[in-house]
Structure 1
Amino acid sequence: MLDVPVFRKSVKTEYGYEISPHKPLSYATLLSLMKVVSIITGVLQPTRAYYLRYGTGNEFNQSGDVSNAL
């Protein structure tokens, strides 16, 4: 799972569109999508990918389900 990107491109298949198993979404595309979501939800400042990554990592670290074992 370490090599699988969280945000992935959609790829066209013979059955329609599917999420690519290994192609990451470009930063520019992610940024524009996050801006649209911010506008739709009424957030004045658009969310940035750094804040999303930081906030998610912080929640993960604060979770009681995570151990310090390596």
Structure 2
Amino acid sequence: MLPKNITLHFLPPYSPQLNPIEHLWSFIKRNYLSFKRYIDIGEVMQSGVDAWKNINQKIVKSIGFS
């Protein structure tokens, strides 16, 4: 049962602009993962790990997170 002082707002089925992680994922793809030729899946995975390790608080704030 939902308390009277809470109102639910349902998001559209596809709304990446309302999902902050989409902005981070887009940044990672644009700056770390695209325009490269990968030899195997291990290289793709390692590239993703390296990209994630390079993300810092300054980058996160610059792409729209509070």
**Fold equivalence (TM over 0.5):** no
TM-score where L is the length of structure 1: 0.25
TM-score where L is the length of structure 2: 0.27
The structure that has the greater radius of gyration is: 2
Which structure carries more helix by proportion?
Answer: 2
Which structure carries more strand by proportion?
Answer: 1
- Larger RCO, structure (CA 8 Å, separation 6 or more): 2
